[in-house]
Amino acid sequence: MKDTRSPSPTHTEPFIMSPHHCPDGETEAQREAATIRSPSRARPHPQPEATLPGRGHRVLVGIWGCRRNSSARPCEQDRRRDWGHAELLEVLEARVRQLQADHVSEVTAKRVDVAQLPGAGGSQPPKKIQAGDEGTALELSGRWAQKLDKEKIKMQERKPQVEMKLQQLEMKLRQRAERQARKQQLRVEPQLLSEQLADRLQRWEHSTPRSPWKEQLARLLQEAPRRLSCKEEHGPSDRVSRMRREGQQQRLLAFLECCVLVDQLPLAHHVLVMRHSRSRQRRMLTLPMFNTVLLGWARKGSYKELVYVFFMMKDAGLAPDLLSYAAALQCMGRLNQDASTIQRCLKQMAQDGLQVQELFTSLSLCRGDKAALLKAVRRAEPTFRPPPPSPPSPQVNTSPLLRDVYDKSHPESYPRQHLPLKTLKSLFQEQLSMEMATTVTVDSVEKAPPLTREVMQARKTLKKLRTSWETELCLALRQTKASEAHAAREGRPSIFPYLCLLSEEELAQLLLQTLQVLPLQGESLLSLAQQLGLRIFSRHVVQKKQLSDEVQALQRRYFKYLRLLASDTRMVVSHLPRQYWEALGAPEAPHEQPWPLAVVVQLGKQLAEVLVQTVKMPGHLAQHQGTHNLIPVLYHVYSFRSFRQIGILKPHPAFIQLLETAAERTMTFEAAEVPMLCPPLPWTSPHSGAFLLSPTKLMRSVEGTMQHQRLLESCPPTNLHGALDALTQLGNCAWRVNGRVLDLVLTLFNEKGCPRLGVPAPASEAPRPPENRLPAGASPERKAELRRQLARCLKVAREMHSLRTDALYRLSLAQHLRHRVFWLPHNMDFRGRTYPCPPHFNHLGSDLARALLEFAHGRPLGPHGLDWLKIHLVNLTGLKKHESLQARLAFADEMMEKILDSADQPMMGQKWWMEADEPWQALACCMEIAQAVRAPDPTAYVSHFPVHQDGSCNGLQHYAALGRDSVGAASVNLTPSDLPQDVYSSVAAQVEVFRRQDAEQGVQVAQVLEGFISRKVVKQTVMTVVYGVTRYGGRLQIEKRLREISNFPQEFVWQASHYLVRQVFNSLQEMFSGTRAIQHWLAESARLIAHTGLAVEWVTPLGIPIIQPYHRDSKVLINGGIQSLTFSSTGDTSQKGLTFVSVHDCFWTHAADVTIMNQVCREQFVCLHSQPILHDLSRFLVERFCSGPRSTNVRVARLLDMLLSVPKTGTFNLEQVKHSTYFFS
C-alpha cells in the first residue's frame, strides 16, 4: 500500500556502501556472527526517514541506502524460532568455554538464574559440620576431586573431537537459519529491500566490539565455508564439476541478458532473487549477472530496484566494479538525483580504488548511457570533463617474419579498390540493408518446367498450405511462449526470453524456410536444432545492433575508412587498414557472447518440435490414400551412424513430391552465407571484423568449443596483428564472375550435367537398383549381394544429390552476382589455414568453382604477363610437368591454334581444353590468352585473370627445410635445377621398383598391379602423409583412385590398396629420412602429451596460439608453417601494392606481378625457416607440459626425455631456395 505520510525534508539519501567496507574496522563475517549470536542486537536502531526525489514512497535511510518503510511485522513463530537459535548458540558457547578452561572451577556462566524454592515446612536449612566429622568430609571431598580429575582428563581427550563437531553443528545451524530467513525474505518477487535484510545490515552496522574468544569463533565461522569450498575444489572430480559450474553460469547469464533485451526485466529480477534465496545456487551467481540486471533497472530509472540488486550483490560476497557503479550513476542521472547522493557514490568508488575517468575510458557504453552517466557526474562535480579517447597503442608485432611489414622507414603502397568513394558508399548501404534483412532471396538457375496444369495446381496447393501453416505456427509459438514463461516464473529451466527475441511471424518464416531446404534423406535432429538456434542468435545480434546507435556509428566510421581504399582519394598514411580503422574512433562495443551450446540446442529442439507437431497436410496428397485426414509433413525416425543411434527428422515423400512438382525457382540464404557487396570490416580482434552486423569468429571451430576463443582472447594483442592484417588484406580483394564460363556451365547443368567435366548430373540419373525379385529359396550369399547393390545405389544417389545441390547453390549465386563486384571476407581454422567466410561461392574448391571467378581489378600484362598466362595454361593441362619454363612456353606457342579454337568454339570445336587436368580453368585461360594476343598491344591489355603459383608438395618442402635434408630438398625443388623435380613421380617410380621386386618373388597383388602404378594413384597419399594421414586413410585414398581405373580388376582393389599404401610409406622413408625423423618425434611427443590427458598446444612463429581438438602428430606444425608463410607473404605483397590471394599453399596474383610474388615467397620461406622452430617448439612444450607439480609424474618424465631429444638437422643451405626457379611454379 502506498504510504501517504509526508517525507522528512531534513535528510538526504546516501548511496549504497561497498560490500567489503564496514565501519569500526570489523569484517562482515564478524558482524554477521555477532548478529546471529546476540539476541540483544536483534532489534535494529531507528533510522531517519527520507523520500526519493520524484517518488511518493516513504523510505528509511541508513548507511546502506534506502528501504521501504514496511508495516509488516514478523510472526510470533518466526520470532520464537530466532530466539531459540540464539539460546542454543549461548549453550554451545558455554560448552566451548568449558572445554577451553584448564580447571573446572574456572568455568563461568554469563548469567545464572536461581529458581525460587517454595516456603514449605518440609524443607530444612543446611546444617554445620559437627566436630569429628572433618575426616569424613575430607574423604568425601577427595573422592569428588579424584572424580573431577578423571572427568577432566576424559574431557581433555575428547576436546578436539567435540570442537570439530561443534564447529560443524554451528555452521549447519547458521546455514539453516539463513535458508529459512531467505525463504521468508525472497519468496515472492520483491521490488524494494525487505525488512529482514535491512535489519540484518543494520545489525552489522551497529554491532559492538567482541571479546577475543568471540573473534576466534567468528573467524572459524568465516573460514569454514572457504575451507569446505577448497576441499571440494581439489576433489577428484574438480575439472568436471568446474566445467559443469561454468556451463550453468553461462546459461544463466545468457538467460538474464536475453530477458533484459526483450524487456522482460521483472522476470530477470525474479530469477535472480530466486537463485539468491538458495544457498547452493547463490554460489553460482557472478558479478556480470548482477551487472546485467543493474543496467536494465538503470535504463528504466528504477532506483529502488537497483538498490535491492546491490544489496543482493553484497550479500553474495561480490564487490561492485566499474560497470556496477556506471549503472548506479546512470540511474541517478536519469532521475536527477541530488548531488550529495552522487558524491557519496563517487567517494565510495574512490574507496574501492576506482577512478571516475575510468568510467569513460574503460567501458563501452551507448550514447544514451554515456549522456546519463556524464549528467550524474557533473551534478556532483560541475567542472568535470570526460578524458579524450586514448590513441591506439603503438605496439606492433616484433616477429622477424613481419619486420618489413611494420617497418615505417619505407613508403607504403597498399592496394586500393578500383571503385570511387561514392560508389563504395552506395555499396555499403546495400550490404547494410542486406544484413539487416538477415536473408537474401536468389533465383534458381535450374531450368524452369513448362507451366502445365499440374505444376500450377501444385504451386497453388503449396501456397495455400504455407499460409495455413504460418497461422498455425504463430498460434503454437504463442502457446509455447506461455508455457515457457510459466516455467521460468517457477524457477525451472526455460527458453522463454529466447523465444521473445523474434516475433511469432519471424519465427514461423524461419521454420518454413528450414522445412523448404530439408534434404530428402532427412536431417539429424541435433544438427537441425543447432542450425535453428544459431540462426536465431544471429538475428538477435543484428537486431540488438539496430536498436542501439551502433549502426549509425559504424556508418560514420566506415565512410572515413573508405577514404583509405577508394580509387579517387589520395590519402598519404603510414597505417595498415587495421591500424587506420583503430585510429578512426573508440573501440567497438562489447561483442555479443555466443550462447552456450546447450541453450542453442534446447531452443532449436523446441522449435523443431513445434514444427513437427504443427505442420500437417491433407492425407489425399499422399499416394494410395484417399482420406482427407491431416498427416504430419515431418516425422521422427532413428538411424545408426558409427554404432550410435541418432534421431532424424525426415519429410514425408508426398511433401517432397509436391515440392518437385511445383518446381519453385527461388532459394533463401543467410546474409552471412553470401559474398559481401562492399569491402569487409578490418579484423581488429578475435571477435570484430568481416561482416558489418553478422557475428563472425576469427577462428572457426566446432560449435560449443571455447578453447580456441579463450586462447585468442588471452593472447597479447600484438601477437595477433600479423594474422589480423593478413586476413584483412585477403578479404579486401575484389572479385567478379567470369560470365563466359558461367554461360557454358549453365548450359551443361541444365542438360543433365557432365560428370566428366565436373558438372554434376541430377539424382534422376543415378543408377537404379535391380528390380528383379529374389526367388523364395535364394541363398544367403545372393541376398547379401543384393543388399550390397542396394546400398551402393543408395550411396551413389545421395552423393549425386549432394553434389548437384552444391553446384546449384554455387551457380545460382554466381548468376545472382553477375555484373556485380563482391568481396570474400576471410577467417582461419584452428590450424591457421585461411578460408573465405561465405561457404557456397568462393575461390576454394573444385576446378569449376575456381574458373567462375576472376579479379574485379585488372592490371596491364606488361612485358612478361602474356608469357606467364601461357605457362599457367600449360600447368593446368598437366602435360609438361617435367619440362622447363621455356619448354612450357614453347609448347603453348605450338598449341596456339588449339588454344584459340577452344576460346572461340568451346563446345563445337576441337575441344582441346576438355583433355586438361583442370578443364574449366584451362578454358578460362584460353579465353584470356585469345583476347590478349588479339589486342592491338598485348602488353597494354588489362587482364583480370588470376595466375597461380603452386608449391611442389609444400608440406614436404617445409619438412625438408626444418630438417635441412639435402636429399629431400632436392626432391621438392628447394635447390636450383634446370628441370623441375616431381616428387609424386619419384615416389611412384620407387613404388614401382618395390612392386617389380615383389612380383619376381611371386607376390600375386604385385603382379596384378603391373602397369597400374602412376603418379595420379599415389599423389594424394604423398601430399597428405605430411599432414598426419594414417595408413588407413591413405588406403582409402588409393582405393578410390584404383576404382576410377576402368580396366583394373575390382576384386583386387582392397588388396592392392593395402599393398600400395605400405609401399608409399616405405618409399617416403627412404627418400626423406630427415623428414620421417621429425614426423616420428612430433608423433611421439603428441602421443605422450595425450597420455597425460591434455591436448597439444603451441604457438606459431607469428605468435598465434594453437590448440588441437584431437590428438594427432605433425599436422598442426606443418599447417602452422604454411599459415606463417601465407601471412608474411600477404603482408609483403600488399605493401608492394600487389593483389594477393592464397588457397592454402597455392598463391594467386595478376600475371604482371608473378615475378614479384615469387621473390616475396622465397624470401619469406627462408626467413621463416631461419628461425629455430623445432627448438622453440621443444622449449614451449617443456614449459607447458613438463613443469610444475606434474613434473614428478613418470609419464611426464618420459615426455620430457622425448621433447628434449630434438632431431638433428642436416647440411642443406636455405639460401639456395632464393635461386630455385621451381620452388613455386
3-class DSSP string for 94-151: HHHHHHHCCCHHHCCCCCCCCCCCCCCCCCCCCCCCCCCCHHHHHHHHHHHHHHHHHH
Contact 1217, 1223 (CB under 8 A): yes
Phi-psi region of 284 (alpha: psi -120 to 50; beta: other; left: phi over 0): alpha
Domain with 324 in it? 319-386
Per-residue pLDDT, 557: 93
DSSP characters for 653-698?
HHHHHHHHHH---EEEEEGGGS-BSSPPEEEEETTEEESSSS---S
**Do 1141 and 1088 belong to one domain?**
yes
The 10s digit of each residue's pLDDT in 1116-1127 is 555 555 566 666
Which residues, listed in sequence order, are joined to residue 737 by a DSSP beta bridge?
A: 853
> Same structural domain for residues 286 and 324?
no
Q: Is 867 a catalytic residue?
A: no
168 and 35, same domain (yes or no) = yes
Whether residue 609 is contained in a domain is answered as yes
Which pLDDT tens digit goes with each residue over 449-470? 888 889 899 999 999 999 999 9
Residue 85 lies in a domain: yes
Q: What predicted TM-score, i.e. pTM, was given to this entire model?
A: 0.78
Residues 1117 and 1155 in one domain: yes
Which residues have a Cβ under 8 Å from the Cβ of 4 and sit 6 or more positions away? 56
For residue 796, tell me if it sits in a domain.
no
Phi/psi for 644 (5° steps) reads -120, 135
Which residue's entry shows cell 524456410? Answer: 513
One domain, residues 379 and 514: no
**Is there a catalytic annotation at residue 1145?**
yes
Residue after which a domain boundary falls, among 335, 368, 386: 386
CA distances from 101 to 143, 445, 520, 968 (A): 22, 95, 84, 85
Give yes or no: residues 1109 and 1223 share one domain: yes
Contacts 24+ apart (CB under 8 A), 1167-1173: 1167/400, 1167/401, 1167/1128, 1168/401, 1168/1101, 1168/1121, 1168/1124, 1168/1125, 1168/1128, 1169/958, 1169/961, 1169/962, 1169/1214, 1170/400, 1170/1214, 1171/400, 1171/401, 1171/1101, 1173/962, 1173/1101, 1173/1121
Amino acid letter, 17 = M
Cell readout for 597 is 551450446
Measured CA to CA, the distance from residue 21 to residue 196 in angstroms comes to 20
Do both 326 and 251 map to the same domain? no
**Residue 1149 near residue 1157, CB atoms below 8 Å:** yes
- At residue 935, φ and ψ (nearest 5 deg) are -75, 150
Q: Which three cell numbers stand for residue 634?
A: 515431418
* pLDDT value of position 232: 41
How many CA atoms within 13 Å lie on the side-chain side of 758?
20
What element of type H or E holds 947? strand 946-950
Spatial distance between the Cα atoms of 143 and 163, rounded to a whole number of angstroms: 29
Q: What domain count does the chain have?
A: 5
**Residue closest to 982 by CA, chosen among 992, 971, 993:** 971
Q: Are 250 and 224 part of one and the same domain?
A: no
Annotated active-site residue 743? The verdict is no
Q: What does the alpha-carbon distance between residue 627 and residue 613 come to, in Å, rounded to a whole number?
A: 20
**Does a structural domain hold residue 174?**
yes
Residue 1178's closest CA among 1085, 1084, 1073?
A: 1085
Shared-domain flag, residues 225 and 248: no
Query: Do 529 and 647 touch, CB atoms closer than 8 A?
Result: no
Give the residue from 212, 234, 256 where a domain finishes. 234
Residues in the chain predicted with pLDDT less than 50, given as ranges, are: 1-14, 16-77, 79-80, 83, 101-140, 184-194, 196-198, 200-217, 219-221, 223-236, 1112-1114
Q: Residues 1140, 1133: contact at Cβ < 8 Å?
A: yes
Q: Which amino acid is at 285?
A: L
Kindly name the residue from 1019, 1113, 1115, 1132 that is annotated as catalytic. Answer: 1019
The reply to whether 78 and 53 lie within a common domain is: yes
Distances (CA, A) of 832 to 724, 726, 872, 1118: 12, 12, 28, 10
Angle at 929 between CA 925 and CA 932, to 5 degrees: 140
* Distance of alpha carbon 1114 from alpha carbon 443, whole angstroms: 45
- CA R_g for the chain: 39
Asked whether residue 942 is assigned to any structural domain, the reply reads no
Domain presence at residue 1193: yes
685: which 3 cell numbers?
580482434
**Domain-located, residue 781:** no
- 286 located within any domain: yes
pLDDT at 877: 93
Cell digits of residue 548: 542501439
Number of Cβ atoms within 10 Å of the Cβ of 967: 15
1126/1212 same-domain check? yes
User: In what helix (H) or strand (E) does residue 1165 lie, and over which residues does it extend?
Assistant: helix 1154-1169
**Domain termination site, one of 331, 356, 386:** 386
Q: Integer distance in angstroms from the first to the last C-alpha of the chain?
A: 85
Among residues 369, 901, 1145, 1153, which one is catalytic?
1145
Query: Is residue 1108 domain-shared with residue 1119, that is, in the same domain?
Result: yes
The contacts of residue 412 (CB under 8 Å, 6+ apart) are 573, 574, 1135
Please give the torsion angle defined by the CA atoms of residues 742, 1126, 578 and 1159, in that order, rounded to the nearest 10 degrees: -100
- Residues contacting residue 564 through CB under 8 Å, at least 6 positions apart: 414, 416, 571, 573, 575, 577, 580
Phi, psi for 1073 (deg, rounded to 5): -65, -45
